[in-house]
């Protein structure tokens, strides 16, 4: 309109027959000239909303990139709500995964206390909830309930029903009993007792538990080393990577760790090497591939 020789290009004022607000128009014009969005998270949400309404792809792409790669425990719940409200399944999945991976940190934010009960139940019920032990899930549930106990006491059973008490150790159960709401006698105490009663009597195996073990956020990785042959007669270097897939630490159960193969070491089998973890990446230095004096390796992976 303004650059193609139309009459509006020569007019001092041009009426725009649109539903633009002054704020939205200012946002879009500013971005058209600068290609930059400047503001906090509230501003970004407003910009994303305007971009969706007026189909401004440049602004929308910047906002979605921020939602994908710059989530924090303080913003992830708002991003999840925004994604669900505007039908953005990719962003919704990203936000959900972040919340499950960072659940303990999310429970410490003010936004967590305003979480709808159905969303809280979904998170607490997920097998992908990354926590070091079941007590952390219980503590998050208690924090949500006690923030408005008068209004939420009636839904306490629904929330605590998601807690997998059979996965707790005796020490963790003692921590649970310290909470006032878990006092004996009481309906929440009875819920815990019924959950524990579902454990098969005697020593149990992992697959016999009444509930699944959640996947851990932090894992142990074993790389290489030297191993014994089946008859324990000789040793040989190993080329395998193994990681802890699941931990089991329950009542009346022998502590178990389920190991799975992650892959194989590059080059050759190695042992006596150094391992460093930085920024969630593991580095291997040196080592030996056999037992001779000249078998030292100089590579890094």
What mean pLDDT is reported for the chain?
A: 83
What confidence tens digit (pLDDT) does each residue in 177-231 have?
999 999 888 899 999 999 888 776 655 555 555 566 676 556 788 888 888 877 7
| pLDDT for the residue numbered 202 | 55
25 in a structural domain: no
Residue 8 lies in a domain: no
Confidence band of 82 (pLDDT split at 50, 70, 90): very high
Q: Are residues 278 and 243 both part of a single domain?
A: yes
Question: Residue 203 has what pLDDT?
Answer: 52
What's residue 29's pLDDT?
79
131 with 194, same domain? Answer: yes
| Percentage of the chain exceeding pLDDT 90 | 35
Q: Is residue 92 part of a domain?
A: no
**Does 61 reside within a domain?**
no
Q: Read off the pLDDT of residues 90-134 as tens digits, 9 standing for 90 and up.
A: 999 999 999 998 999 999 999 999 999 999 999 999 988 888 788
Domain count, the chain: 2
Among the residue ranges 17-21, 170-174, 218-222, 288-292, the one predicted with the least confidence is: 17-21
Task: Give Cβ neighbours of residue 232 (< 8 Å, ≥ 6 apart).
Answer: none
Q: Say what the pLDDT of residue 86 is.
A: 92
pLDDT band at 1 (very low <50, low <70, confident <90, very high): low
Q: Is residue 15 part of a domain?
A: no
Across 80-89, 261-270, 287-296, the highest mean pLDDT is recorded for 80-89
CATH number of the domain to which 160 belongs:
1.25.40
237 domain residue, yes or no: yes
Instruction: Please give the share of the chain, as a percent, with pLDDT higher than 70.
Output: 86
SS3 for the chain is: CCCCCCHHHHCCCCCCCCCCCHHHHHHHHHHHHHCCCCCCHHHHHHHHHHHHHHCCHHHHHHHHHHHHHCCCCCCHHHHHHHHHHCCCHHHHHHHHHHHHHCHHHHHCCCHHHHCCHHHHHHHHHCCCCCCCCHHHHHHHHHHHHHCCHHHHHHHHHHHHCCCCHHHCCHHHHHHHHCCHHHCCCCHHHHHHHHHHHCCCCCCCCHHHCCCCCCCCCCCCEEECCEEECCCCCCEEECCEEEEEEEEECCCCCCCEEEEEEEEECCCCCCECCEEEEECCEEEEECCECCCCCCCECCCEC
Same domain, 192 and 226: no
Residue ending a domain, among 198, 231, 260, is 198
| pTM exceeding 0.85 | no
CB atoms within 10 A of CB 104: 16
The more confidently predicted of residues 139 and 284 is 139
Of the three residues 198, 231, 261, the one that is the final residue of a domain is 198
Residue 257, domain member (yes or no): yes
Residues 139 and 184 in one domain: yes
Single out the residue in 153, 183, 198 at which a domain terminates.
Answer: 198
pLDDT band at 11 (very low <50, low <70, confident <90, very high): confident
Give the domain extent around 260.
221-289
């Amino acid at each position: 309109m303004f650059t193609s020789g139309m009459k509006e290009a020569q007019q001092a004022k041009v009426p725009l027959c649109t539903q633009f607000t002054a704020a939205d128009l200012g946002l879009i014009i500013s971005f058209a000239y600068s290609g930059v969005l400047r503001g906090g998270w509230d501003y970004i949400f407003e910009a994303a909303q305007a971009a969706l309404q007026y189909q401004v792809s440049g602004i929308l792409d910047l906002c979605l990139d921020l939602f994908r790669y710059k989530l924090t425990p303080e913003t992830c719940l708002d991003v999840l709500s925004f994604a669900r409200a505007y039908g953005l399944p990719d962003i919704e999945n990203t936000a959900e995964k972040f919340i499950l991976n960072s659940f303990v940190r999310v429970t410490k934010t003010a936004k967590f206390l305003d979480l709808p009960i159905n969303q809280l139940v979904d998170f607490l019920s997920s097998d992908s909830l990354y926590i070091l032990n079941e007590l952390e899930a219980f503590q998050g549930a208690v924090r949500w309930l006690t923030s408005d106990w008068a209004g939420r006491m009636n839904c306490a059973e629904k929330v605590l029903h998601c807690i997998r008490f059979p996965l707790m150790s005796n020490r963790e159960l003692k921590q649970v009993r310290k909470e006032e709401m878990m006092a004996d006698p009481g309906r929440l105490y009875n819920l815990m007792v019924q959950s524990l009663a579902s454990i098969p009597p005697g020593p149990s195996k992992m697959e016999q538990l009444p509930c699944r073990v959640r996947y851990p956020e932090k894992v142990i990785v074993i790389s290489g080393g030297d191993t014994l042959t089946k008859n324990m007669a000789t040793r040989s270097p190993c080329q395998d990577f193994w990681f802890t897939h699941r931990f089991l630490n329950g009542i009346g159960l022998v502590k178990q760790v389920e190991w799975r193969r992650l892959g194989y070491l590059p080059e050759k089998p190695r042992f006596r090497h150094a391992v460093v973890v930085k920024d969630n990446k593991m580095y291997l230095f040196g080592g030996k591939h056999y037992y001779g004096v000249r078998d030292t390796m100089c590579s890094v992976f």
